[in-house]
Structure 1
Amino acid sequence: MSRESLLDHVVDVIADDGMGGLSVRAVAARAGVAIGTVQHWFPTKSAMLLAAMDRIGGVADDAHRHAVVADDPAERLRETVALLVPADRESRVSRVWLAFAAQAVADDEVRARYEQLWSGIQRGLAGRLAAAAPQATAAAIDDAAAELLALSDGLAVAVLDEPGRMPAERARAMALRRTDEIVTALLD
């Protein structure tokens, strides 16, 4: 079995069972391979996790490239923010991302990778904000990007953990409304 196909099973275990369910044994059972095969490609649980983070980051980047198509800078920003809030509780990328966030609290390697990935997302939001409000200061843009990322992150957790209280449609509407308010404030 290739590393890439085995990595899909790692992501599936995390999405279905969280970090508590991730083990060499669980991945081997899901993939239908020997434990040694998993250990060949991923000698530690941390190696599995870091590879899964990279995979999910790539999946998210691909989704962004295909979903953000508007010509208008403000609309491109809105499309980007909408992607940060999961469409439903079953979002594989969001479920795995939430598991990464929880693991980052206790694992320095995961935290470093998590911060790296989030910094890239924040820089992307800042670039979209700067295009939508070119006269805004760099400090205002940076604060707005941090706010949108924090809001989107919190809404994503609510969609995944409390869908009765925070259905995806409501969460996305809130994120987009706040995005519009931020752009308007930056334009003033």
Structure 2
Amino acid sequence: MSRESMLDHVVDVIAADGMAGLSIRTVAARAGVAIGTVQHWFPTKQAMLLAAMDRTARIAEQASAARLSLADPADRVRAVAELLVPADPSSPVSRVWIAFAAHAVADAEVRARYEQLWARTHAGVVGLLASAAPSAAASALDDAAGELLALADGLTIAVLDEPGRMPPARAAALIRRRVDAFLAELGG
């Protein structure tokens, strides 16, 4: 079994059972392989976790690539913002991302990786907002990106944990409305 296919099982375990369910034994059972096979690719739980974080970031970046090709800068901001909230309460990428966020509180290495990934995301959103509102002040763009990402985090948790109260369509509508407000405020 390849490292990438083993990593698929790691992500599946985290998405289904959170960080508490992640262990070399659990991944081996899910993959139908011996524990030693998992340890060949990931000698520790921490190695699995960090690889899963990187995998999730790559999946999110690939998903945003198509949205970045939209001609209108405001449409690019809207499309990427909608991508930041899950379209389905069972979204593995969203479930894993939120599990990482929670785990980062207690794990310095995970926190450092999470901060690094989040800083890239923040910089990307600032860039999108700047392209849609080129005359906006840098501090206003930075604040808008921070607020937008915080809203996306909150909506993601609500969609994953309370889909009856916050169905994905409602979350998408809320983030679209806030993006439109930001663009109006920023002069875009």
Q: TM-score range by the shorter chain?
A: over 0.9
The answer (yes or no) to whether the contact 2:125–2:145 under 8 Å persists in 1 is yes
The answer (yes or no) to whether the contact 2:67–2:76 under 8 Å persists in 1 is no
- Give the corresponding residue for 2:181: 181
- Give the corresponding residue for 2:149: 149
The one-letter amino acid of 1:183's match is L
Identical-residue share of aligned pairs (%) = 66
The answer (yes or no) to whether the contact 2:6–2:31 under 8 Å persists in 1 is yes
The C-alpha deviation readout for 1:83-126, integer Å capped at 9, x for no partner, is: 00100101110011111111111111111111111111111100
- Give the corresponding residue for 1:41: 41
The answer (yes or no) to whether the contact 2:130–2:136 under 8 Å persists in 1 is yes
Q: CA deviation at 1:66?
A: 2.4
- Give the corresponding residue for 2:117: 117
User: 1: CA distance between counterparts of 2:186 and 2:152?
Assistant: 19
The one-letter amino acid of 1:127's match is G
Q: TM-score, normalised by structure 1?
A: 0.97
The one-letter amino acid of 2:51's match is A
Q: CA deviation at 1:70?
A: 1.8
The one-letter amino acid of 1:116's match is Q
Q: Aligned residue pairs: how many?
A: 188
Q: CA deviation at 1:68?
A: 3.8
Q: Does 1:77 align with 2:90?
A: no
- Give the corresponding residue for 2:89: 89
Q: Which runs of 4+ in 1 moved over 4 A?
A: none
User: 2: CA distance between counterparts of 1:183 and 1:67?
Assistant: 17
Q: Does 1:30 align with 2:30?
A: yes
User: 2: CA distance between counterparts of 1:44 and 1:72?
Assistant: 45
User: 2: CA distance between counterparts of 1:164 and 1:120?
Assistant: 32
User: 2: CA distance between counterparts of 1:137 and 1:17?
Assistant: 43
The C-alpha deviation readout for 1:3-56, integer Å capped at 9, x for no partner, is: 111111100111111111100000001111111111121111111000000001
The answer (yes or no) to whether the contact 2:78–2:176 under 8 Å persists in 1 is yes
The one-letter amino acid of 1:106's match is A
Give 3-state SS (helix, strand or coil) of 2:136's partner. coil
The C-alpha deviation readout for 1:131-161, integer Å capped at 9, x for no partner, is: 0100001111101110101001110110000
Q: Which runs of 5+ in 1 are unaligned?
A: none
- Give the corresponding residue for 1:9: 9
1:96-175 pair list within 5 angstroms? 96-175=96-175
- Give the corresponding residue for 2:20: 20
Q: TM-score, normalised by structure 2?
A: 0.97
User: 1: CA distance between counterparts of 2:70 and 2:8?
Assistant: 31
Cα RMSD for the two superposed structures: 1.0
User: 2: CA distance between counterparts of 1:176 and 1:109?
Assistant: 34
User: 1: CA distance between counterparts of 2:98 and 2:17?
Assistant: 12
